[in-house]
Structure 1
Amino acid sequence: MKLMVVEDDRIIATGLEYSLQQEGYEVVLAYSFQEAKKLITNNTFDLCLLDITLPDGNGYEICKEIKKDQDIPVIFLTALEDEVNVVMGLDLGADDYVVKPFRIRELISRIRSVLRRYHKESEENIINIGNVEVHIRENRIYKNKEEIILTSMEYRLLMQLVNHRGQVLTRNQLLEGIWDVSGDFVNDNTLTVYIKRLRTKLGDDLANPTLVKTIRGIGYCIDK
């Protein structure tokens, strides 16, 4: 997922960029209103983090620009003394705000919460991956209109990849997402077996997979 961070303090911005990239997000930085405006015009983002006070404007104006043409979630980064004014941002359509100084884990939790809410509200029941259809509400998978029967582990693995379409997930991220709470042991070797089984059931070419792709040295992904 692609995030825009608008923050004029370059040390804070760089720290945010590093921490968010460690969580698997693609991050684009802007240090001013004008830089942010250009980025909004030329890019599509999944979420925007906006500092309120900028050298040539403010986060409220950026929020207006974002919400004018696109339904993109916005989180304000606000200094404690600005908190009283955050209601203005919420009235403009912002989804949340975090008061500085903040803990990075808190911010990441807020980001995930907002993204989950957006995806739940806009989620399509049917997601197409090539000639495979994922029916979200029914928890069913079809290929060429014929149902594919997956085990619970295979289904969880597929949904991990589907829910992060376009994002490369490391093997560790996948293992954390499919860990069986009932106690079944899932390790790195087991993950390789599940990936192979999933590809076979989806009819993916094991020698040259096009649905569940291997990103060598990093992990796996499903394209948007």
Structure 2
Amino acid sequence: MRPHLALIEDDPDFALMCRTYLEREGFTVTWAMDARAGKAVMHDGGIDLVVLDLGLPDGSGLELLRALRSTSRLPVIVVSGRGDETDRVAGLEIGADDYLVKPFSQRELVARIGAVLRRCRPPELPAVLDVGTLRVDTAARQASGTGVLLNLRPKEYALLEALARSPGRVFSAEQLLELIWGASWQQSATVVEHVYRLRGKLSRLPAPAPRITTVRGYGYRLDP
């Protein structure tokens, strides 16, 4: 699958040059020419990495990066004509994964994008998760307990898989929203509703069955 990049850059000539080269190198590129459009592109979903210019006509790229980092770990490479150490350090401290000073070669940009994507790629995870009598087959996207198959909706399955990957670990509602829905700005009631439905389905498994425990003031955990 072609990695999907968001290019947030106000210079149309530079953006066209970058977009043309990146698409020739196998990327899909969505261009936004200001902070408002860039924010919309990033929150639409499906973006694998952001190439972000700091000098935008309707706001600071650093402020856009700061807002993004409050809800997401989406990889970001800052590209800027500001090469001072202070600017580079500020960008990296706010959460940029890399910082590239203009002018630069398109080959270097492609190499930096590839390196960041490799670093951010999740590690290989086990295909089958066993938590007590619960078995979660991540390849088939199915879960069962003592041989009884659970009839789960997609988000219910995703919630169960997330909890089963770290049994005993407490996840906050915000963490679960980010992991499963990709956005912590949604209402936490979404998580409450899905936990309620999933608990009902787990309760119908033969005993002993894993259970989702509410840790008051913190979140939820899966206990074997």
Give the shorter-chain TM-score range: 0.5 to 0.7
Q: Deviations over 1:60-95 (max 9, x none)?
A: 112122222221111110114455312111111111
- For residue 76 of structure 1, what is the aligned residue in structure 2? 78
- For residue 44 of structure 2, what is the aligned residue in structure 1? 42
* Secondary structure in structure 2 of the residue aligned to 1:69: coil
Gaps of 5+ in 2: 128-136, 141-224
- For residue 29 of structure 1, what is the aligned residue in structure 2? 31
Q: Does structure 1 retain, via aligned residues, the 8 Å contact 2:83–2:101?
A: no
- For residue 105 of structure 1, what is the aligned residue in structure 2? 107
Larger Rg: 2
Alignment partners' CA distance in 2, 1:55 and 1:37: 14
The Cα shift of 1:112 comes to 0.5
- For residue 57 of structure 2, what is the aligned residue in structure 1? 55
Q: Does structure 2 retain, via aligned residues, the 8 Å contact 1:83–1:99?
A: no
Alignment partners' CA distance in 2, 1:14 and 1:22: 12
TM-score with structure 2 length normalisation?
0.53
2:12 partner letter = R
2:44 partner letter = N
Alignment partners' CA distance in 1, 2:84 and 2:19: 23
Q: Does structure 2 retain, via aligned residues, the 8 Å contact 1:50–1:76?
A: yes
Alignment partners' CA distance in 2, 1:55 and 1:82: 21
- 1:1-224 to structure 2, matched below 5 A, reads 1-82=3-84, 84-119=86-121, 122-126=122-126
Q: Deviations over 1:199-221 (max 9, x none)?
A: xxxxxxxxxxxxxxxxxxxxxxx
Q: Deviations over 1:118-160 (max 9, x none)?
A: 11xx2232469965xxxxxxxxxxxxxxxxxxxxxxxxxxxxx
Distance 1:84 1:73, change over 3 A: same
The Cα shift of 1:44 comes to 3.1
Alignment partners' CA distance in 2, 1:82 and 1:28: 28
Percent identity of the aligned residues?
Answer: 37
- For residue 178 of structure 1, what is the aligned residue in structure 2? none
Alignment partners' CA distance in 1, 2:47 and 2:69: 12
Q: Does structure 2 retain, via aligned residues, the 8 Å contact 1:7–1:54?
A: yes
Alignment partners' CA distance in 2, 1:14 and 1:116: 25
2:30 partner letter = V
Tell me which stretches of 4 or more aligned residues in structure 1 moved more than 3 Å.
80-84, 126-131
Distance 1:81 1:123, change over 3 A: closer
Gaps of 5+ in 1: 132-224
Alignment partners' CA distance in 2, 1:83 and 1:17: 28
TM-score with structure 1 length normalisation?
0.53
Q: Does structure 2 retain, via aligned residues, the 8 Å contact 1:37–1:65?
A: no
